[in-house]
Structure 1
Protein backbone atom coordinates (compact mmCIF):
# COMPACT_ATOMS: atom_id res chain seq x y z
CA UNK A 1 0.00 0.00 0.00
CA UNK A 2 1.34 3.47 -0.84
CA UNK A 3 0.58 4.71 2.69
CA UNK A 4 2.72 1.99 4.23
CA UNK A 5 5.53 2.50 1.72
CA UNK A 6 5.48 6.21 2.53
CA UNK A 7 6.26 5.41 6.18
CA UNK A 8 9.41 3.41 5.38
CA UNK A 9 12.90 4.94 5.30
CA UNK A 10 14.13 2.85 2.34
CA UNK A 11 12.09 0.73 -0.06
CA UNK A 12 13.72 -2.11 -2.00
CA UNK A 13 11.86 -3.44 -5.03
CA UNK A 14 12.81 -6.97 -6.12
CA UNK A 15 11.32 -9.56 -8.44
CA UNK A 16 10.45 -12.66 -6.40
CA UNK A 17 8.01 -14.45 -8.70
CA UNK A 18 7.64 -15.33 -12.38
CA UNK A 19 11.43 -15.07 -12.76
CA UNK A 20 11.36 -16.78 -16.17
CA UNK A 21 8.88 -14.50 -17.90
CA UNK A 22 9.88 -13.22 -21.35
CA UNK A 23 12.45 -10.42 -21.50
CA UNK A 24 10.06 -7.75 -22.80
CA UNK A 25 7.51 -8.35 -20.02
CA UNK A 26 10.23 -8.55 -17.35
CA UNK A 27 11.75 -5.29 -18.59
CA UNK A 28 8.37 -3.52 -18.41
CA UNK A 29 7.79 -4.94 -14.95
CA UNK A 30 11.19 -3.83 -13.63
CA UNK A 31 11.03 -0.37 -15.21
CA UNK A 32 7.58 0.20 -13.65
CA UNK A 33 8.94 -0.89 -10.25
CA UNK A 34 12.03 1.36 -10.29
CA UNK A 35 9.96 4.33 -11.46
CA UNK A 36 7.54 3.97 -8.55
CA UNK A 37 8.01 7.15 -6.49
CA UNK A 38 8.44 5.05 -3.33
CA UNK A 39 11.19 2.82 -4.80
CA UNK A 40 14.74 3.49 -3.60
CA UNK A 41 16.69 0.33 -4.50
CA UNK A 42 16.32 -2.36 -7.17
CA UNK A 43 17.19 -5.61 -5.35
CA UNK A 44 19.01 -8.62 -6.84
CA UNK A 45 18.08 -7.65 -10.37
CA UNK A 46 18.71 -10.96 -12.14
CA UNK A 47 17.31 -13.23 -9.43
CA UNK A 48 20.09 -15.70 -10.16
CA UNK A 49 21.46 -18.26 -7.73
CA UNK A 50 25.01 -19.40 -8.51
CA UNK A 51 25.39 -22.25 -5.97
CA UNK A 52 23.47 -25.38 -5.06
CA UNK A 53 20.81 -26.24 -7.63
CA UNK A 54 21.25 -22.72 -8.94
CA UNK A 55 18.82 -20.58 -10.85
CA UNK A 56 19.47 -18.84 -14.17
CA UNK A 57 19.30 -15.08 -14.55
CA UNK A 58 15.98 -13.53 -15.43
CA UNK A 59 16.00 -12.09 -18.93
CA UNK A 60 15.46 -8.33 -19.32
CA UNK A 61 16.87 -5.34 -21.19
CA UNK A 62 19.54 -4.28 -18.69
CA UNK A 63 20.28 -1.03 -20.51
CA UNK A 64 16.63 0.03 -20.37
CA UNK A 65 16.26 -0.95 -16.71
CA UNK A 66 19.50 0.79 -15.67
CA UNK A 67 18.54 3.91 -17.65
CA UNK A 68 15.23 3.98 -15.75
CA UNK A 69 17.15 3.59 -12.48
CA UNK A 70 19.46 6.48 -13.37
CA UNK A 71 16.55 8.67 -14.44
CA UNK A 72 14.46 7.95 -11.33
CA UNK A 73 17.34 7.94 -8.83
CA UNK A 74 16.70 4.31 -7.88
CA UNK A 75 19.89 2.57 -6.73
CA UNK A 76 20.93 -0.86 -8.00
CA UNK A 77 21.69 -3.33 -5.24
CA UNK A 78 25.08 -5.05 -5.18
CA UNK A 79 24.04 -8.20 -3.38
CA UNK A 80 26.88 -9.71 -1.33
CA UNK A 81 25.17 -13.02 -0.56
CA UNK A 82 27.58 -15.74 -1.86
CA UNK A 83 24.87 -17.70 -3.65
CA UNK A 84 23.62 -14.56 -5.43
CA UNK A 85 26.49 -12.15 -6.13
CA UNK A 86 23.99 -10.15 -8.12
CA UNK A 87 24.29 -8.39 -10.48
CA UNK A 88 26.97 -10.32 -12.32
CA UNK A 89 30.11 -8.31 -13.07
CA UNK A 90 29.18 -7.68 -16.73
CA UNK A 91 25.88 -6.09 -15.67
CA UNK A 92 27.46 -4.26 -12.76
CA UNK A 93 29.85 -2.58 -15.20
CA UNK A 94 26.92 -1.64 -17.46
CA UNK A 95 25.11 -0.12 -14.48
CA UNK A 96 28.22 1.94 -13.68
CA UNK A 97 28.22 3.17 -17.27
CA UNK A 98 24.54 4.08 -17.02
CA UNK A 99 25.32 6.39 -14.10
CA UNK A 100 23.15 4.69 -11.49
CA UNK A 101 23.47 4.84 -7.73
CA UNK A 102 24.30 1.65 -5.83
CA UNK A 103 23.50 -0.01 -2.51
CA UNK A 104 25.92 -2.66 -1.23
CA UNK A 105 24.23 -5.09 1.14
CA UNK A 106 24.51 -8.58 2.54
CA UNK A 107 20.98 -9.92 2.02
CA UNK A 108 21.67 -11.41 5.48
CA UNK A 109 19.10 -13.70 7.04
CA UNK A 110 21.12 -14.18 10.26
CA UNK A 111 23.67 -12.04 12.20
CA UNK A 112 26.71 -14.09 11.09
CA UNK A 113 25.89 -13.36 7.45
CA UNK A 114 26.64 -9.66 7.90
CA UNK A 115 30.29 -10.59 7.32
CA UNK A 116 29.43 -11.08 3.64
CA UNK A 117 29.45 -7.30 3.13
CA UNK A 118 33.09 -7.40 2.05
CA UNK A 119 32.17 -9.60 -0.95
CA UNK A 120 29.93 -6.89 -2.37
CA UNK A 121 32.48 -4.17 -1.59
CA UNK A 122 35.18 -6.11 -3.44
CA UNK A 123 32.92 -6.53 -6.49
CA UNK A 124 32.05 -2.83 -6.44
CA UNK A 125 35.73 -1.90 -6.40
CA UNK A 126 36.58 -4.47 -9.10
CA UNK A 127 33.91 -3.07 -11.41
CA UNK A 128 34.78 0.58 -10.91
CA UNK A 129 31.77 1.67 -8.86
CA UNK A 130 32.50 5.24 -7.70
CA UNK A 131 32.40 5.36 -3.89
CA UNK A 132 30.30 8.54 -3.88
CA UNK A 133 27.53 6.70 -5.78
CA UNK A 134 27.16 4.02 -3.09
CA UNK A 135 24.23 5.13 -0.94
CA UNK A 136 25.18 2.76 1.87
CA UNK A 137 28.33 4.86 2.46
CA UNK A 138 26.42 8.13 2.86
CA UNK A 139 25.67 9.84 6.15
CA UNK A 140 22.25 9.16 7.62
CA UNK A 141 21.11 12.69 6.78
CA UNK A 142 22.17 12.31 3.13
CA UNK A 143 20.62 8.85 2.87
CA UNK A 144 17.28 10.00 4.27
CA UNK A 145 17.21 13.16 2.13
CA UNK A 146 17.73 10.95 -0.94
CA UNK A 147 15.28 8.22 0.05
CA UNK A 148 12.48 10.55 1.14
CA UNK A 149 12.89 13.55 -1.15
CA UNK A 150 15.20 12.45 -3.95
CA UNK A 151 17.83 15.01 -2.95
CA UNK A 152 21.35 13.93 -3.85
CA UNK A 153 24.38 14.97 -1.79
CA UNK A 154 26.28 17.76 -3.57
CA UNK A 155 29.32 15.51 -4.14
CA UNK A 156 27.11 13.10 -6.11
CA UNK A 157 24.85 15.57 -7.88
CA UNK A 158 27.85 17.47 -9.23
CA UNK A 159 29.72 14.35 -10.39
Structure 2
Protein backbone atom coordinates (compact mmCIF):
# COMPACT_ATOMS: atom_id res chain seq x y z
CA UNK A 1 0.00 0.00 0.00
CA UNK A 2 2.75 2.45 0.98
CA UNK A 3 4.67 1.74 -2.25
CA UNK A 4 1.54 2.47 -4.30
CA UNK A 5 1.25 5.89 -2.64
CA UNK A 6 4.94 6.57 -3.35
CA UNK A 7 4.46 5.48 -6.97
CA UNK A 8 1.66 8.05 -7.33
CA UNK A 9 3.63 10.86 -5.68
CA UNK A 10 6.77 10.48 -7.82
CA UNK A 11 5.10 11.55 -11.11
CA UNK A 12 3.46 14.53 -9.36
CA UNK A 13 6.82 15.62 -7.95
CA UNK A 14 8.44 15.15 -11.37
CA UNK A 15 5.82 17.38 -13.01
CA UNK A 16 6.27 19.99 -10.28
CA UNK A 17 10.07 19.90 -10.68
CA UNK A 18 9.72 20.20 -14.46
CA UNK A 19 7.40 23.17 -14.03
CA UNK A 20 9.87 24.86 -11.71
CA UNK A 21 12.71 24.24 -14.14
CA UNK A 22 10.71 25.57 -17.07
CA UNK A 23 9.56 28.64 -15.09
CA UNK A 24 13.15 29.30 -14.08
CA UNK A 25 14.44 28.92 -17.65
CA UNK A 26 11.69 30.98 -19.25
CA UNK A 27 11.13 33.72 -16.66
CA UNK A 28 13.76 34.00 -13.94
CA UNK A 29 16.91 33.31 -15.97
CA UNK A 30 16.10 35.81 -18.77
CA UNK A 31 15.19 38.50 -16.21
CA UNK A 32 18.45 37.92 -14.34
CA UNK A 33 20.47 38.05 -17.59
CA UNK A 34 18.83 41.35 -18.54
CA UNK A 35 19.48 42.69 -15.05
CA UNK A 36 23.25 42.03 -15.08
CA UNK A 37 24.22 44.81 -17.56
CA UNK A 38 21.82 47.19 -15.82
CA UNK A 39 23.57 46.56 -12.49
CA UNK A 40 26.98 46.98 -14.13
CA UNK A 41 25.76 50.30 -15.51
CA UNK A 42 24.47 51.33 -12.08
CA UNK A 43 27.87 50.63 -10.51
CA UNK A 44 29.58 52.59 -13.30
CA UNK A 45 27.06 55.43 -12.91
CA UNK A 46 27.72 55.85 -9.18
CA UNK A 47 31.49 55.38 -9.51
CA UNK A 48 31.84 57.88 -12.37
CA UNK A 49 29.53 60.38 -10.66
CA UNK A 50 31.60 60.15 -7.50
CA UNK A 51 34.81 60.63 -9.47
CA UNK A 52 33.37 63.65 -11.30
CA UNK A 53 32.12 65.40 -8.18
CA UNK A 54 35.33 64.78 -6.22
CA UNK A 55 37.54 66.27 -8.92
CA UNK A 56 35.32 69.22 -9.88
CA UNK A 57 35.25 72.87 -8.93
CA UNK A 58 31.87 74.30 -7.99
CA UNK A 59 31.81 76.09 -11.37
CA UNK A 60 31.87 72.71 -13.13
CA UNK A 61 28.82 71.30 -11.36
CA UNK A 62 26.40 72.38 -14.15
CA UNK A 63 28.42 70.48 -16.74
CA UNK A 64 28.57 67.47 -14.42
CA UNK A 65 24.78 67.50 -13.96
CA UNK A 66 24.41 67.26 -17.77
CA UNK A 67 26.96 64.46 -17.93
CA UNK A 68 25.24 62.55 -15.11
CA UNK A 69 21.87 62.89 -16.85
CA UNK A 70 23.37 61.46 -20.05
CA UNK A 71 24.86 58.53 -18.13
CA UNK A 72 21.50 57.86 -16.48
CA UNK A 73 19.61 57.97 -19.77
CA UNK A 74 21.92 55.38 -21.33
CA UNK A 75 20.20 52.36 -19.75
CA UNK A 76 16.75 53.87 -19.19
CA UNK A 77 14.87 51.39 -21.39
CA UNK A 78 16.65 48.36 -19.93
CA UNK A 79 16.16 49.59 -16.33
CA UNK A 80 12.49 50.24 -16.92
CA UNK A 81 11.91 46.86 -18.55
CA UNK A 82 13.70 44.92 -15.80
CA UNK A 83 12.04 46.89 -13.00
CA UNK A 84 8.54 46.44 -14.41
CA UNK A 85 9.03 42.73 -15.15
CA UNK A 86 10.23 42.24 -11.57
CA UNK A 87 7.26 44.24 -10.23
CA UNK A 88 4.79 42.08 -12.15
CA UNK A 89 6.64 38.97 -10.99
CA UNK A 90 6.40 39.81 -7.29
CA UNK A 91 2.84 41.13 -7.53
CA UNK A 92 1.42 38.18 -9.44
CA UNK A 93 3.30 35.20 -8.03
CA UNK A 94 2.10 33.02 -5.19
CA UNK A 95 5.57 31.55 -4.64
CA UNK A 96 7.37 33.27 -1.74
CA UNK A 97 10.84 32.70 -3.26
CA UNK A 98 9.77 34.21 -6.59
CA UNK A 99 8.10 37.10 -4.74
CA UNK A 100 11.34 37.71 -2.81
CA UNK A 101 13.37 37.71 -6.03
CA UNK A 102 11.01 40.24 -7.62
CA UNK A 103 11.09 42.46 -4.54
CA UNK A 104 14.89 42.35 -4.39
CA UNK A 105 15.12 43.44 -8.03
CA UNK A 106 12.60 46.25 -7.51
CA UNK A 107 14.40 47.44 -4.37
CA UNK A 108 17.58 47.90 -6.39
CA UNK A 109 15.99 50.83 -8.19
CA UNK A 110 14.27 52.50 -5.24
CA UNK A 111 15.63 55.16 -2.94
CA UNK A 112 14.17 57.02 -0.03
CA UNK A 113 13.79 60.69 -0.93
CA UNK A 114 16.37 63.07 0.51
CA UNK A 115 13.53 65.18 1.90
CA UNK A 116 10.38 63.85 3.59
CA UNK A 117 8.08 65.98 1.41
CA UNK A 118 9.26 64.30 -1.80
CA UNK A 119 7.83 61.17 -3.41
CA UNK A 120 9.61 57.84 -3.59
CA UNK A 121 12.15 57.90 -6.41
CA UNK A 122 14.90 55.95 -8.08
CA UNK A 123 18.46 56.15 -6.79
CA UNK A 124 19.66 57.90 -9.93
CA UNK A 125 16.87 60.50 -9.89
CA UNK A 126 17.61 61.20 -6.24
CA UNK A 127 21.27 61.80 -7.03
CA UNK A 128 20.51 64.04 -10.00
CA UNK A 129 18.27 66.12 -7.74
CA UNK A 130 21.10 66.33 -5.19
CA UNK A 131 23.50 67.40 -7.95
CA UNK A 132 21.07 70.18 -8.85
CA UNK A 133 20.81 71.23 -5.19
CA UNK A 134 24.61 71.46 -5.04
CA UNK A 135 24.60 73.40 -8.30
CA UNK A 136 22.23 76.00 -6.80
CA UNK A 137 24.06 76.02 -3.44
CA UNK A 138 21.17 74.52 -1.44
CA UNK A 139 23.36 71.69 -0.16
CA UNK A 140 27.08 71.16 0.05
CA UNK A 141 29.22 68.87 -2.02
CA UNK A 142 29.97 66.72 1.05
CA UNK A 143 26.30 65.69 1.24
CA UNK A 144 26.35 64.69 -2.42
CA UNK A 145 29.58 62.69 -1.99
CA UNK A 146 28.09 60.91 1.02
CA UNK A 147 24.89 60.13 -0.92
CA UNK A 148 26.91 58.75 -3.85
CA UNK A 149 28.97 56.51 -1.56
CA UNK A 150 25.84 55.35 0.28
CA UNK A 151 24.03 54.59 -2.97
CA UNK A 152 26.97 52.62 -4.33
CA UNK A 153 27.17 50.61 -1.09
CA UNK A 154 23.41 50.05 -1.15
CA UNK A 155 23.55 48.77 -4.73
CA UNK A 156 26.28 46.32 -3.68
CA UNK A 157 24.22 45.01 -0.79
CA UNK A 158 21.09 44.76 -2.93
CA UNK A 159 22.97 42.96 -5.71
CA UNK A 160 24.12 40.36 -3.17
CA UNK A 161 20.49 39.86 -2.06
CA UNK A 162 19.38 39.47 -5.69
CA UNK A 163 22.10 36.92 -6.43
CA UNK A 164 21.23 34.97 -3.29
CA UNK A 165 17.55 34.90 -4.20
CA UNK A 166 18.42 33.92 -7.77
CA UNK A 167 20.62 31.13 -6.41
CA UNK A 168 17.72 29.75 -4.34
CA UNK A 169 15.49 29.73 -7.40
CA UNK A 170 18.16 28.14 -9.56
CA UNK A 171 18.90 25.41 -7.04
CA UNK A 172 15.20 24.72 -6.58
CA UNK A 173 14.71 24.45 -10.33
CA UNK A 174 17.06 21.47 -10.56
CA UNK A 175 16.07 19.67 -7.36
TM (norm. structure 2) is 0.23
Whose helix proportion is higher, 1 or 2?
2
Q: RCO higher in 1 or 2 (8 Å CA, sep ≥ 6)?
A: 2
Whose strand proportion is higher, 1 or 2?
1
Structure whose alpha-carbon radius of gyration is higher:
2
TM (norm. structure 1) is 0.24
